[in-house]
Amino acid sequence: MGLKRKTQNLQELLKTYGTQIPVYLSSQLANDEFKQLRKLIVDQHLKSVDTTTPEKMAAAKRGAAKLIRPHVIGRKGPQYHGFSKKILAGKYETCRIMDALYPVREEKWKAPISRRKDTELSIQDFSFLDNPVGTMEFFRKLTEIEAEALSLIINFDDDQVLDVAPFLVFGVIKQNMLPITKGGHMKPSVMKVIEAVGLRHFLEIGPFMSLKNKKDVWAFPMKQKNIPAKKSYSKLALEPTTKEKIQDQLVIKINEWLNQIGLEFSQSGRNQLNVMAGEALDNGERHSNPESETGNWTIAGFMAKRGNGSSSTAYEYVCHLSIMSVGSSIGETIESTPESAHKKIESYCDKHEKHLIKRKFNRETLRTVCALQDGVSRFDQEKEGISGGVGIMEFVSLMNDLGSSPIVKRKPQLTIVSGKSCIMFKEQYSNGVSKGPEEPRMQWFNAKNSLDYPPDEDYVFDLPYKLQGTIVTMRFTLDEGYLQEKVGENG
């Protein structure tokens, strides 16, 4: 009677899953139940295929053995021990970021019960500001591993957070990938920023038990709108927030950063920053989903007090701010500019797509350079009554106003990653240049600052893999002596 009851339960299992019963279920069966299940799977498979000849019967038995093998391994070996139902029952899910990084992801993606590999991945210089190519290579490798590994340990080897933006990209990936990550190491100074900015839950990282405080970090916690993810996450200050509210919060936060060196924004400075933030968030929405103009964005930042190495009591205040949108790239959306602007952009691309015998620029990258200049917008601004074409240069101007310093290592830097394009505002190309007070700001990334010459390949280049969206990320240092002197000169 007992055996019959078990068989009926197992047949119910077969009715639900067919011969594709999840390993996490079969591994919970008692030995006699498992033997019975093996027989039922074999019988059901043999009934479903042609066994009319000895050759076909042999092939059918080999097929049955393949069905049984994962269940036997799951009971005898350590591969599946401790893995949650969420992992073992996981299915392929589309993700715009991962699918663009690894176009054959769906083809290569393995069912969890057929995976065997445990993997470890480490990253150093995790920064679009310092290492955009290496950072994109990390994300490509992560996406490849997600398609085939059973578990993954990730080690963050930097001594401090060099850039917020990669963690925003990583968070979007974590919200959509199979949850195979199983820890790794991270320095306390990195933990402190991750916790303060509100990224820990977004990255699906457990509590930092060794973290004692968030001292010397002034965070602008992550905020989002319509970010594409298959999961929901809690305990984060990510509830729907109006753009206007975020603009106000950003002004208050950067003013708080300035307060640490005895300065504050003037009213005109507050107004300028408020408008700039609104323009940036508007651009994120417009460019990520140009058809409906109701796209998405994520914004986060922080200021950290760090030793500058000159003495044990000498510090500097390093500021970070990043905005990301998932969707169309700048180079893709700028193709829909009004006809007069479109002709100029395409003329620039024709001129510089190939130069000398060295390297070919991707047209999308050249279009992105054009899109950054003041006054360039995909909208007919007079006809549609929409302001545009000044967002990036406003960011660049703000960064230079707050972060200017005669000390080389403190000089400001802004990087744009959009599609396969990377553009770096830094060093001699750190700011837009205007010919007069009412003239547009331009930065063509060459010594002449002219669209007649190609951009410098060290500052404008194509990336090896595509980011399906856009990142604008900046870092600048508040140089107290320089800024106090500048305030004094301006009265």
Cβ–Cβ under 8 Å, residues 403 and 378: no
Contact 286, 268 (CB under 8 A): no
Scan for tokens 């994120």, then name that residue.
284
345 contact partners, CB below 8 Å, separation of at least 6: 334, 337, 367, 370, 371, 376
Residue 206 has pLDDT above 80, yes or no: yes
Is 239 a residue whose pLDDT tops 50?
no
Q: Indicate the pLDDT class of residue 383, thresholds 50, 70 and 90.
A: very low
For the cut 50, the answer to whether the pLDDT of residue 238 exceeds it is: no
Cα distance between residue 54 and residue 61, in whole Å: 11
Query: Crossing angle of helices 31-48/2-17, nearest 10°?
Result: 50
Distance CA 281, CA 223 (A): 11
Identify whether the C-beta of residue 222 lies closer than 8 Å to the C-beta of residue 236.
Answer: yes
Average pLDDT over residues 193-221: 90
Please state, in angstroms and rounded to a whole number, the distance separating the CA atoms of residues 75 and 34: 10
Q: Write phi, then psi, for 114 (nearest 5 degrees).
A: -100, 5
Which of 39-43, 69-73, 423-427 has the largest mean confidence?
423-427
Print burial letters for 306-317: b (CB count within 10 Å at least 16), e (below 16): eeeeeeeeebbb
Alpha carbons 390 and 57: distance in angstroms, whole number: 72
Q: Which residue has the tokens 């019967």?
A: 57
Q: Is the backbone of residue 327 left (phi > 0), alpha (psi -120 to 50) or beta?
A: left
Residue 156 pairs with which residues in a beta bridge? 123, 186
What are φ and ψ of residue 474, in 5° steps?
Answer: -135, 155
Q: Please tell me whether the overall predicted TM-score, pTM, comes out greater than 0.85 for this model.
A: no
Beta bridge partners of 321: 301, 474
User: What kind and span of H or E run contains 5?
Assistant: helix 2-17
CA distance 22 to 175: 23
Q: Are strands 217-225 and 297-307 parallel, antiparallel or unpaired?
A: antiparallel
Which range, of 13-27, 154-168, 213-227, averages the lowest pLDDT? 13-27
Contacts of 239 (CB under 8 A, 6+ apart): none
CB atoms near residue 1 (< 10 Å): 4
Would you state the structure tokens that stand for residue 368, as one six-digit string?
A: 């992105």
In whole angstroms, what is the distance from residue 159 CA to residue 144 CA? 26
Residue 368 has pLDDT above 90, yes or no: yes
Question: pLDDT (tens digit, 9 = 90+) per residue, 317-360?
Answer: 999 999 999 988 998 888 767 777 788 888 999 888 876 555 67
